[in-house]
Chain A
Amino acid sequence: MIHLSLPLALVAALFGIGLYGVVARRNAVLVLIGVELMLSAAGLLFVTAGTTMHDPMRGGQVLTIFLITIAAAEISVALAVVVAVFRARGDIDMARAGEDE
């Protein structure tokens, strides 16, 4: 038996922390860390919903595994973009992104 408010509060906290990481950081790799935290919050919500409700297709857990795979694909492409931007511009500062060199 588990009280549902605990995992749900952790989901909310993780998503908020990830959002803070996205909007308060200037380094692009640190922004990606925030995105990862938000994705893990989504995964925790899937697992919580899947294991505490009647779910004959195991959708919660299966979708979390899919989510982890999609996150891996996302982070590989995003980091390739970050490294390419670093090679082209010399920095990965999000506050100066889009300005003329």
Chain B
Amino acid sequence: MTTHDVFFTIVGVICAASALLSVTTKHLVHAALWLMVALVALSGCYLVLGAELVALVNLLIYVGAIVVLVLFALMLTRAPIGRSHEHDTSLAQRAASMVLCAATTALLAAVLISGLGNNAVRVSAGSTHTLSVQLFGTWVWPFEMLSLLLVAALVGALAVSRLPNAAIARTESGEGS
């Protein structure tokens, strides 16, 4: 066990445990909050692997923006506060998905570890300066395409959220009766 191993084990266990809690908890809002813990721990994993910029971007965008968006969506869809069982599938389906989840995990772990090996390797992420030179040099065109993608996503989200008035009126009259 090296120092990196110890630190990675600590943050990795926190990450996996809180991810597991976020998909199994009965409280809807707690699911989003456990997701936040899992993503902060994942930023810790990135830090241990030496990728500081990725860790910071992960913290800013995932924890700062995506979890807040998920919380917003939970509240806009009137998520019940407190324990509720109506968002879980039946016990048989949950058992089947547990088997599926375990099988996928075992398959992925076997393929990845047998493919990449279990050697002790040096962690060398390089400096942030090199990373930014590469990002705005080699990768500049994909970077520009991503800005286009973000604009398209923004326009798409706006267009989707503007339903025809008839559908909204039908829902509201249905709730009122």
B-contacting residues of A (Cβ < 8 Å)? 1-21, 23-27, 29-30, 32-34, 36-37, 40, 43-45, 47-53, 57-58, 60-62, 64-66, 68-77, 79-84, 86-90, 92-93, 95
Q: Give the dominant DSSP class at B's interface.
A: helix
B5 with A3: CB separation less than 8 A: yes
A88 with B163: CB separation less than 8 A: yes
Considering only CB atoms, which chain A residue lies closest to B133 in the complex? A58
Whole-angstrom distance between the Cβ of A22 and the nearest chain B Cβ: 8
Q: What are the nearest 8 A-B pairs in CB distance? A: A16-B105, A21-B23, A73-B153, A27-B87, A12-B109, A12-B108, A20-B101, A80-B157
For chain B, the count of residues having a C-beta within 8 Å of the partner chain is 96
Q: Give the dominant DSSP class at A's interface.
A: helix
A-contacting residues of B (Cβ < 8 Å)? 2, 4-5, 8-9, 12, 15-16, 19-20, 22-23, 28, 31-32, 35, 38-39, 42, 45-46, 48-51, 53-54, 57-58, 61-62, 65-66, 69-70, 72-74, 76-77, 79, 86-89, 93-94, 97-98, 100-102, 104-109, 112-113, 116-126, 130-131, 134-135, 138-139, 142-143, 146, 149-150, 152-154, 156-158, 160-161, 163, 167-168, 171, 174-175
- Which residue from A17, A57, A69 sits with its C-beta under 8 Å from B23? A17
Considering only CB atoms, which chain A residue lies closest to B8 in the complex? A6
CA distance A37 to B45 in the complex (A): 14
